[in-house]
Amino acid sequence: MKLGLYQCPSPAGDLAAGLARVDEALGEATKAGVDMLTLPEMFLPGYNADPAPQPEAWPQVQADLAALVAQHGIGLTIGLADYQDTGIRNAAFAFGRDGGVLAVYHKVQLFGPREKALYAPGDRLLSFDFEGVTFGLLVCYDVEFPEHTRALARAGAQALLVPTANMMPFVNVNEVTVPARALESGLTVVYANYCGVEGDLTYTGRSLIAGPDGRALAAMGEESGLIAADLPASNGSGLETPVSTQFDDYRVIDRLERR
């Protein structure tokens, strides 16, 4: 199983430009032999674009997106707005090779006052199977909470797909937190970020695929483009360093003394 991510500037509310970029990303990923590609958070309409109200063209955008996936014949995980009667959700959609929706996850940990004003939070974690691999979905800030990563690992996830929109100055998330999440739970994390500027935000870039030993299987700087890596075995065979044994050795302690 080959996993890929595509880092690029945000479409910034331009739905046609966003679909064209998805087409380009899928094309590059197909040529590279990628089985599942991940794109950034709220790619449509764009992370820093106002998602409300729902665009009139949104049903057609969704249909066009599914058609692009089917045309290229690979899996796609992408951040999208999910318009529901109970509010707009910041969502990760996973598509199969035929363009059918495999899973929809709603971001649980909303970041900052802007997200909390725009979106209704999700209320559950989610995993799904794709061609013999169990994937977990998280969105950006979610992965900074080790409880969520560990819960998905305990539920059988072998890899986490994480559309993100991490902005300056939070480069420590890319460089420290994401590798730590992979290492401590012994799974692969695909962390797909933007680069460039969108309104008042400057994105960190630095997308990466972190293996279960915490080392980067593939990583980017601030440029646009595709990176890909084969999904390693969960036991770490073939990796440079051993996988942590913390996941198997952890003892639950529910007593805390204070003296």
Residues annotated as catalytic are 41, 107, 140
Closest CA to 1 of 182, 231, 171: 231
What is the spatial distance between Cα 73 and Cα 96, in angstroms, rounded to a whole number?
8
What is the spatial distance between Cα 8 and Cα 203, in angstroms, rounded to a whole number?
10
Three-state SS string over 29-79 comes to HHHCCCCEEECCCCCECCCCCCCCCCCCCHHHHHHHHHHHHHHHCCEEEEE
Contact 141, 112 (CB under 8 A): no
Contact 137, 127 (CB under 8 A): yes
β 159-163/188-192 pair status: parallel
